[in-house]
Amino acid sequence: MLISINPFDGREWARHAVWTEDAIEGALANAQAVFREWSAAGLQARLRPVTELATRLGAERESLAALATREMGKRLAEARAEVDKCALLCRYVADEAPAIWADEPVATEARRSYVHYEPLGPLLGIMPWNFPFWQVFRFAVPAVAAGNTVLVKHAPNVTAISLEIERLFRQAGFPAHVFQALPVPVEAVGRIIADARIRGVSLTGSTRAGRAVAAQAGAHLKKCVLELGGSDPWIVLADADVEAAAAAGVTARFQNAGQSCIAAKRFVIQKEVYDRFLEGYLAGVGALVMGDPADARTTLAPLARDDLRSALAAQVEDARQRGARLLAGGKVPSGPGYFYAPTVLDGLDPAMRVSREEVFGPAALLFRVSNEEEALELAGATAYGLGASLWSGDLGHAERLARTLPSGLSFVNSMVKSDPRLPFGGIRDSGVGRELGVAGLREFVNIRTVWIA
């Protein structure tokens, strides 16, 4: 059974049956069968339910957000924003896909030559729990609009949300089996990837999971997009607006209880402004309020699972035992729910686990550096390469520096975020391929060259 537990009080509230092998086979057969009809329907016919999906998300915003709060523990305000973002993506795809997937003439010596975009077939999405609506939508909506069919194996702790997403797709007018939720154990994923009917795989998850899925997909020559973890630097130069950088940094680290791949995790601050930054940052952290994520007064939600909290606590304790300074938090509060006190550490060194691993929870790492060169070197001293934020009063200089950072996303004087209009993804251990934007919408299509002599 797959169990839904409320992270706020630790209570089970739903159980979901795990699919049998026969049910999985039926889903694969259905995805292949409906693909032929769906891909031939024409782009405008496929975009109509995408537009309706945006409308339904707006109409059901409150109930969908409440479900995310109950099953994943997300603050209600953040859950509403996530649903809104899914609707924004639907509208972006409906408006921009005709131009993005239009035939592109290319002048050659041929009578006519052009690039044509067409769907691949059934796709498998392996999705995480931390943005349980958004991460499914940003994979599935462009994929089905292009004419593919999708099967989504969601994280077990958000199974109710995955079934709700399937209902939304059906009620928006997508034919049965264009989108299918797969309540299956992780052991079934390899067989599904290997199945000849699956033509591509998208994973959002850990680097370890990405390596496993990439190996399986590669063995069967399947297209693969991986959006993995991050250890994003937040670089504050001496000429930055320090107060603004500190205030935004609290949000960038502690929103979604710190459970975000693009959250700011390593705060790299020049020594001239370190004390000012620290004062403002600790004030912001001290003002965070742990509590019921459905309560508007709450600003720090619980973690999604107890094992995630235990893993974070172990990382923080390792750093403390190795000499890091604990400036705030570092403890599990008494009482129910998977809460962890908002934590700030400095005095860190590369041997500590928090310096080497992704820290996925409400804990911030602060580093004092002597100059700009040291800041850039430390920012790049990680196996990850997802996002980076750089703060400076000299925008031209900051932009030049931001373009040198080893990351897929570089933001100046702003926190890193995803946007339907811009490609999203990382390099190094943070992944392969892109979602969103023109580049993302062209990942799961066959880019065909057509030459007419």
Instruction: Convert 251-277 into a string of H (helix), E (strand) and C (coil).
Output: HHHHHHHHCCCCCEEEEEEEHHHHHHH
| Number of structural domains in the chain | 2
48 and 188, same domain (yes or no): yes
What pLDDT, on the 0 to 100 scale, is given for residue 110? 98
DSSP string, 180-217: EE----GGGHHHHHHSTT--EEEEES-HHHHHHHHHHH
Q: Is residue 421 part of a domain?
A: no
196 contacts: CB under 8 Å, gap ≥ 6 = none
**Maximum Cα interatomic distance, the chain, rounded to a whole number of Å:** 75
8 and 112, same domain (yes or no): yes
If you ran DSSP here, which 8-state letter would residue 36 be given? H
Two tokens, residue 112: 């006519």
DSSP string, 121-139: SEEEEE--SSSTTHHHHHH
Can you give the CATH number for the domain in which 68 is found? 3.40.605.10
Separation between Cα atoms, residue 267 and residue 21, nearest integer Å:
47
Query: In this structure, are residues 300 and 362 in contact, taking their beta carbons and an 8 Å threshold?
Result: yes
List the domain range (segments joined by +) for residue 156.
Answer: 2-228+427-452
Which three-class secondary structure state does DSSP give residue 47? helix
Tell me the whole-structure pTM to 2 decimals: 0.97
- Known active-site residue 224: no
Any idea what the Cα angle at residue 262 is, between residues 129 and 394, rounded to 5°?
A: 165
Distance of CA 101 to the CA centre of its chain: 24
What pLDDT, on the 0 to 100 scale, is given for residue 351? 83
Q: Is residue 432 part of a domain?
A: yes
Q: Is residue 417 part of a domain?
A: no
185 and 328, same domain (yes or no): no
Q: Is residue 153 part of a domain?
A: yes
71 and 40, same domain (yes or no): yes
19 and 115, same domain (yes or no): yes
Two tokens, residue 113: 């030559």
Can you give the CATH number for the domain in which 313 is found? 3.40.309.10
Taking the chain (453 residues) in runs of 10, the rounded mean pLDDT of each run is 97 97 98 98 98 98 98 98 98 98 98 98 98 98 98 98 98 98 96 98 97 98 97 98 98 98 98 98 98 98 98 97 97 96 95 94 98 97 97 98 98 98 98 98 98 97
Q: Is residue 418 part of a domain?
A: no
What pLDDT, on the 0 to 100 scale, is given for residue 376? 97
If you ran DSSP here, which 8-state letter would residue 303 be given? P
Q: Is residue 162 part of a domain?
A: yes
224 and 255, same domain (yes or no): no
207 and 354, same domain (yes or no): no
Give backbone dihedrals phi and psi of 202, rounded to 5 degrees, phi first.
-125, 130
Considering Cα of 216, then 218, then 224, then 225, what sign does the dihedral take?
A: positive
Query: In this structure, are residues 386 and 375 in contact, taking their beta carbons and an 8 Å threshold?
Result: no
275 and 292, same domain (yes or no): yes
The candidate with the shortest Cα–Cα distance to 46, out of 445, 447, 449, is: 445
200 and 217, same domain (yes or no): yes
Q: Is residue 256 part of a domain?
A: yes
- Known active-site residue 373: no
Q: Is residue 116 part of a domain?
A: yes
66 and 205, same domain (yes or no): yes
204 and 110, same domain (yes or no): yes
Separation between Cα atoms, residue 304 and residue 157, nearest integer Å:
8
292 and 161, same domain (yes or no): no
Catalytic residue (one of 71, 82, 166, 227): 227
